Structure 1
Amino acid sequence: MSWRTQIFSLTVHGILTLLVLLSPWPENYGLVWLTLVTLVVFECIRSQRNIMACRGELVLQSRQHLRWHQQDWLINGTPWMLKSGILLSLRQVNGKKRRKLWLASDCMEQREWRTLRNALLQSGSSQPDRRA
């Protein structure tokens, strides 16, 4: 589980909530104000649940194939790599599900992170690299 990802999500939703709460609203816009605050709070809860649902062991089985949540997935395209994380576009093997999965560097040990990053860099060596 990535603490940075959770804190980032909470910070963004907190700032949005403060903007809605502190913005000057006309008196007859109380229902709009309440609706916006409610939407931001529920979106924050949904975001935290999504972050928690993505936890689990990920096993890179080959350059374009991985196992996650007891399912086999293919990596579509070139992973988007930053120093703080990797964004993978996944397609389920023998299924129609598609997912975007953010792997944060703080959710695994540095040795595991370097190994995963190197394996993904080698698999995309024929394609342009989008590292930061």
Structure 2
Amino acid sequence: MIALAALFAPWSAKNLYFGFSVFAIPILAMIMVSWVRSQKNIQQCQGQLILLKGNKVHWQNARWEMTQPPWFSRYGMMLSLRALEQPKGFHHKPAIRLWVASDSMPPQMWRYLNQLMRQYPDT
């Protein structure tokens, strides 16, 4: 927010070109770097989520256990997951929170998944 405020703040005519480039170029560079990081994180978190019996899911070639009931919103659901098994040679995977967006699937599939997830805990 501060970066955008500084970018759009009124500049005097004398310092327009020098003042704009001194502040705007680093701010724009920071915004671009944060956008690239954000897009990279989003791409890493994409994948097929398979719901298994017993509050378990399969996601990104690993089995995960739901540690808490899902948190629901109009726009998606938040899943709290913990890795069940660890591949050889890998460090312990921490518990994660996975956001499943409602617009990532057709409306019928979303309603069905929502109904299934509201039955937590599944025994």
Same fold, TM-score > 0.5, yes or no: yes
The 1:63/1:36 distance shift into structure 2, 3 A limit, reads farther
What's 1:4 paired with?
Answer: none
C-alpha contact (below 8 Å) 2:66/2:81 kept by paired residues: yes
In the alignment, structure 1 segments of 5+ residues that lack a partner are 1-14, 126-132
TM-score by length of 1: 0.67
What's 1:37 paired with?
Answer: 28
How many residues are aligned here? 111
| Offset at residue 71 of structure 1 (A) | 0.6
Name the structure with the higher helix share: 1
The one-letter code sitting in structure 2 at the alignment partner of 1:74 is E
TM-score by length of 2: 0.71
Equivalent position SS for 1:44: helix
| Offset at residue 104 of structure 1 (A) | 0.7
Identity of aligned residues (%): 30
- Higher Cα Rg, which structure: 2
Question: Following the alignment from structure 2 to structure 1, what is the Cα–Cα distance between the partners of residues 61 and 119?
Answer: 25
| Offset at residue 34 of structure 1 (A) | 4.2
Question: Following the alignment from structure 1 to structure 2, what is the Cα–Cα distance between the partners of residues 16 and 111?
Answer: 41
What's 1:48 paired with?
Answer: 39
Question: Following the alignment from structure 1 to structure 2, what is the Cα–Cα distance between the partners of residues 113 and 16?
Answer: 37
What's 2:51 paired with?
Answer: 60
Equivalent position SS for 1:19: helix
Aligned mate of 2:84, from 86, 93, 96: 93
Equivalent position SS for 2:69: strand
Question: Following the alignment from structure 1 to structure 2, what is the Cα–Cα distance between the partners of residues 66 and 16?
Answer: 40
In the alignment, structure 2 segments of 5+ residues that lack a partner are 87-91
C-alpha contact (below 8 Å) 1:75/1:90 kept by paired residues: yes
What's 2:5 paired with?
Answer: 19
C-alpha contact (below 8 Å) 2:70/2:78 kept by paired residues: yes
Q: Which has the higher contact order (CA 8 A, sep 6+)?
A: 1
